[in-house]
Chain A
Amino acid sequence: MKNDPLSLIYTQRRGVMQQEKFLEMKNINKRYGGVHALKNVDFSLDRGEVHCLVGENGSGKSTLIKVISGVETPSPDSRITIKGEILKGLTPIQSVEKGIQVIYQDLSLFPNLSVSENVSISDYHAGNLRFIKRKDMKKKALETMRKIDVSIDPDKLVRELPIAQKQVVAIVRALATDAELLIMDEPTASLSKHEIDELLKLIKTLQKNGITIVFVSHKLDEITSISDKVTVLRDGVKIGTYDAAELDDKKIAYLMTGEEFENEKGKVKKEFENKILEIDGLGRKRNYRDISFSLHKGEILGITGLIGSGRTELALTLFGMNRQDSGSIKLNGTEVSFKSNFDAIQAGIAYVPEDRLSEGLILPQPISNNIVLGILDKLVNRANILNMSNKEEIAAKWIKNIGVKTSNPENAVDTLSGGNQQKVVVSKWLATNPDVLILDNPTVGVDIAAKHGIYKIMREFTKKNLGIILISDEVAEVYQNSDRILIMSKGRIVEEVYPCEITEKELNEKILRGDINGQTA
């Protein structure tokens, strides 16, 4: 640690400048054309605090981050003070010089370069024909990693790392440029629960090192567990800054949306009679093992557990895209064997995949085409020719029934918000008239209101005898919507619980215990 500029700064900071605010923003206004993206927002950060920024899509979070990083210039009456210095017209370079680093959701890493090169990439600003010093870069990466107690092989290519380690590399890169303020845009979006815990621990370590952190998140439980303060934005207006301790999930949801959402969890154990899906001893090498359960008409069966517990692979098997090695699947009493997902769809199984953007939707294409995608074979006449008016009718019907907000069904899907996009995916699958609907993390990146909209659709269709399998990482989501829950770990079902019999906290504990048991088994 000798001759370490970082630790020097930290000592200085602890001694002299502790009281001072790192960042103070007053009266921030930003307009894009006619849209008032930020309205008179005040925002300030104490040194060394973890500050959570929450708000729905379009609430102004990203714009605020862009203003802090100098990418967007606010209107002239806005005032930004960093480390006591008033900065007019903050530029991206100034922002970096002041020690501000943003880690975007996509991490902005270079998959084809090594860890150490990624960490030192901004040194390449120094010139073009200058030679790089691989040894120094490696040393820098190792030293920075040591400081926050992580270790990743610096020679490995970033593309070979799991997503959680990529996240760490992005953090290390920010620290290597002497970051004092780290802004993380939804860093946990694609991490498993374990990895999230690791990340939260890492954030604590960073905080101990005197680094200020702004943390953007959609996940309410993280917000309350990690942050000191929470600032809520809604429609470009700051609703307020709160101590994290005084907030709970419900209150945050209310502050973000201005609406109250009723918890629809059933209080009594419902009895179901007709089994639609019976799974017996299903196994697939290196994916899952010994899976047996059944699903009834009108039932919502939750499946939760950590990422990497084999849930998605199991879902893909039920959907005909990932053949099992052993065991059987019975649908409405008869054993089925799917050669492809086409067979599964024909048999009455539908699957809303985990990754909406790459697997669920064809973003540049019209909404109507996306909706009829699963029933193209039913839209044809005997000569195998598509009936266009029929197509438009069906699309219009689902847009209305599910409540997709759009002016024109021929608009591209990517003109819709995340929640409406997901409704298009759900419409596509409901249009196939399935008996079983599998939803794999259906509300990732979806606004709270749209989220509840999707829950409502689920419940409505169970009344029409649809059986739903709801796979989710979000414990609250599974807990509040399922009639029954299976906990999976390491490719096996470890426990079956009824939400009406236990509390959410107990469910959480069971999931963690299931993981530990799974590991020791």
Chain B
Amino acid sequence: MWHELTAKTGSLYKKYPNLSMLGVILIITLLSFSISLPGKFFTTSNFSSIAFQLPELGILTIAMAITMLSGGINLSIIATANISGIVMATIMKSLITTPDSPVVWIVLLAIIAGMGVGILAGIVNGIIIAYIGVSPILATLGTMTLINGISILATKGYVISGLPQEMLAIGNGNIAGIPVPFIIFIIVAVLIAFWLKKTPSGMSNYLIGSNEKATRYSGIDTKKVLMKTYILSGLLCAVASMVMISRFNSARAGYAESYLLVTVLASVFGGIDPNGGFGKIAGLVMSLFILQMVSSGLNLLGINPFITVVLWGGILLAIMLVRRFRSKSR
């Protein structure tokens, strides 16, 4: 019985070495906090707060990860999220003037417009990267600066705050006891995982990440696929922004800028190959859970939140070191 179990886990490890490793880290994290924080960590309220906090970073990380899988990067995710948040907030603020304005419809319109802005940013990135041929890091460095500039110009640097209740429900409500942001995050994760694994363009996204030229020579319109990837990335930024502005009850040009490099960190930690071509959404989700648990666990222990940041960096370094020795021994 025991032998069978170890044999099974052994073959599971062989098949998914990275996911298994993350799984082990996840369990260790969970156990050690549950033990060191009896009655505090392993509680509904703690998991509920994790489920409220994780989605913003989570959706943004997926937006980053799909571009990394294609061998690129998207430095403009935060800028895109902020501009679409500003557009959503502005529409809501300016159209809801009287108490009997059709609030639900206006919120819906604002969200659609916000998604449109995200898609537009994706189109711009896609054209520059796929059709003009600029390296993704430079292209999105430029669009990041440009989009930030437009946001600052549009808001003159001010915060747009005071959103309608209907909007705030997205970031703060529960459905059947599950936080709405978390439901959105899970839907996004499942859809993107499905896209990557089960559709031709998703599979091509991986192949482009390993060798764009050979993929193109095989009859796949790699420009179209890259275009899709960056549009999807932009759209996800808008989705993240929807959650974000409703949790903050405001929109502004410089929100969440520190998340930019954290999304890269979380992606690589979750097993996304920085050179492209490999990585799974499942790993990403585990990585996000680990990072969020570390953050909330340390917080409950009363440890300075900056130590969390240190630990995140340390965890990334450690896992890269482990991966390095694993590939060496092979």
> Given the complex, which residues of A lie within 8 Å of B198, measured CB to CB?
385-386, 388
Q: When the two chains form the complex, which single residue of A321, A365, A379, A384 contacts B277, counting CB atoms closer than 8 Å? A: A365
Q: Which of A340, A342, A360, A365 has the most CB of B within 10 A?
A: A365
Q: Is the CB of B214 within 8 A of A358?
A: yes
Contact A373/B207 with A345-B219, A362-B214, A365-B277 known, Cβ cut-off 8 Å: yes
Query: Contacts of B182 on A, CB cut-off 8 Å?
Result: none
Q: Smallest Cβ distance from A403 to chain B, in angstroms?
A: 21
Number of residues from A at the complex interface, CB < 8 A: 29
Contact B217 A384 (CB under 8 A): no
B287 within 8 A of partner (CB) = no
Given A376-B203, A384-B200, check contact A364 B277 (CB 8 Å): yes
What is the minimal beta-carbon distance from A80 to any residue of chain B, in angstroms? 30
Let me know if B200 and A362 touch, CB within 8 A. no
What does the 1/0 interface line of B196-210 toward A look like (CB < 8 Å)? 011110011011001
Whether B217 contacts A360 by the Cβ 8 Å rule is yes
A-B CB contact pairs (8 Å), 30 listed: A340-B221, A341-B217, A342-B219, A342-B220, A344-B219, A358-B213, A360-B214, A360-B217, A361-B214, A362-B210, A362-B277, A363-B210, A364-B210, A364-B278, A365-B207, A365-B210, A365-B211, A369-B203, A373-B207, A373-B218, A373-B219, A376-B200, A376-B204, A379-B200, A384-B199, A385-B198, A385-B199, A386-B197, A386-B200, A432-B219
Chain B, 110-130, contact with A by CB distance < 8 Å: what is the 0/1 string? 000000000000000000000
In the complex, A388→B204 CA distance in Å? 14
- B215 contacts the other chain (CB 8 A): yes
Residue in A closest to B217 when the chains form the complex, CB atoms: A359
A374 within 8 Å of B (CB atoms):
yes
Min CB distance B274 to A, Å, is 13
**Interface of B toward A, CB cutoff 8 Å:** 197-200, 203-204, 206-207, 210-211, 213-221, 277-278
Collect the chain B residues with CB atoms within 8 Å of residue A369's CB: 203, 207
Instruction: Find chain A residues with CB under 8 A from B218 CB.
Output: 373-374, 428
Q: How far is the CB of A17 from chain B (nearest CB, A)?
A: 46
Q: A359-B213, A363-B210, A365-B206 are in contact. Are A373 and B199 (CB under 8 A)?
A: no
Question: CB-CB contacts of A347-368 with B at 8 A, as 1s and 0s?
Answer: 0000101000011111111000
A422 to chain B, nearest CB (A): 13
Please, which residues of chain A bring their CB within 8 A of the CB of B219?
340-342, 344-345, 373-374, 432
- Identify which of A351, A358, A363, A386 contacts B199 (C-beta below 8 A): A386
Give the complex CA separation of A379 and B204 in angstroms: 13
Interface string of A373-404 (1 = CB under 8 A from B): 11011011000111010000000000000000
A359 near B214 with CB under 8 A, answer yes
Closest 6 CB pairs of A and B: A373-B218, A345-B219, A376-B200, A362-B211, A342-B219, A362-B210
- Alpha-carbon gap, A432 to B219, bound state (A): 11
How long is the Cα–Cα vector from A388 to B199 in the complex, in angstroms? 10
Shortest CB-to-CB span from B63 to chain A, Å, is 22
For the complex formed, measure the closest distance between the CB of A405 and the CB atoms of chain B, giving whole angstroms: 20
* Cα(A361)–Cα(B218), bound, Å: 9
Q: How far is the CB of A157 from chain B (nearest CB, A)?
A: 21
Residue interface bits A314-358, CB-to-B below 8 A is 1, else 0: 000000010000000000000000001110110000010100001
Q: In the complex, which residues of chain B have a beta carbon less than 8 angstroms from the beta carbon of A321?
A: 217
A386 contact from B203, B206, B220, Cβ within 8 A: B203
Chain B contacts for A353, CB-based, 8 A: 217
Task: Give min CB distance, A15 to chain B, whole Å.
Answer: 52
Please, how many angstroms separate the alpha-carbon atoms of A377 and B203 in the complex?
Answer: 11
Within the complex, the shortest CB–CB distance from A444 to chain B, in Å, comes to: 16
- A385 surroundings in chain B (CB, below 8 A): 198-199
A353 to B219, CA, bound (A): 12
With A385-B198, A385-B199, A386-B200: A362-B220 Cβ-Cβ less than 8 Å: no
